[in-house]
Amino acid sequence: MTHPLTPAEVAAYLANQETNEKRTADNKLFVNETSRPIGTKIYFTSKGDNVAVKTDIGNGELLNLTHTIGDPTTQEVVIDLNMEANLTYIHEGYVMWKDADFDDLTLTIIPRVSTYEAGTNTNYNLYGGYLIIPAAGNGTVTPTLIQLVEMPVSTDTGLRSAAFWNATWNKTTGQYDDITPAPTGNGVYNMFAVEVTLGKFVNHFLLLNSGFMMLQSAESEQLGAGMRVKLTIATHNTDHNWKAAVGLVFHRQKGC
């Protein structure tokens, strides 16, 4: 049940609003029309980061694919982003293509994948065939390579998806320290045993002839450390030569 404000409370509220508002000389309200989160900068790129060096930004794989007659009908390329110490949001993108014939393009977000082997009485279990979760000494798998994937807090709900591990990023060593279980799912990170789709930015976008398209958005969505961007092209109809390239716009704390 809500209670109406008293006249005094209404007056105080309006006074506060007037105090905080910034206006022009002709009384037009100043607004900031941007989805860029405070503390980040605009970053245009067709290239990922170099994950071998966690401070290296912009020297990874390129987001372009060329289909030549005889190639598989589905091709993909994946870029990584060093986000452990570089807050990163995805904003919008650009698509360029040449000689397409109702071919299509998809852009998804996937996790870095942890590897594992069978074990007995371990501290790890495999849930649903895709997620490595904590066990209490009765687990059935043992990780051989741990890749933590951060689950960001939703800007819509203020909530985080279930995450079963906590850890501390060490900027000096470029590694995670103190990996601890969060068995109730109230952690920050997950370990994925197989590739799954965490998000889909572009879904089977149809391409014809040659052209350019701006995939404009007023939104900005945070990516978690350990997430990857995958570009997939599918060739249709009679096999033919064609190519596509993608440029992405991010909001990042650091662009170099």
Question: Per residue in 20-63, pLDDT tens?
Answer: 677 777 777 777 778 888 889 999 999 999 999 999 999 999 99
Angle at 204 between CA 41 and CA 163, to 5 degrees: 55
| Inter-residue contact 176 to 148 (CB < 8 Å) | yes
Question: Per residue in 102-141, pLDDT tens?
Answer: 999 999 999 999 999 999 999 999 999 999 999 999 999 9
Residue 256 pLDDT greater than 70, yes or no: yes
Topology of the domain comprising 41-111+196-252: Jelly Rolls (2.60.120)
| Inter-residue contact 242 to 206 (CB < 8 Å) | no
Which residue is listed with tokens 């109809």? 237
How far apart are the C-alpha atoms of 224 and 10, rounded to whole Å?
Answer: 41
List beta partners, residue 114.
none
Task: Give the predicted TM-score (pTM) of the model.
Answer: 0.86
In the chain, domain spans: 41-111+196-252, 115-192
Residue 78 pLDDT greater than 90, yes or no: yes
- Say what percent of the chain tops pLDDT 70: 92
Residue 17 pLDDT greater than 80, yes or no: no
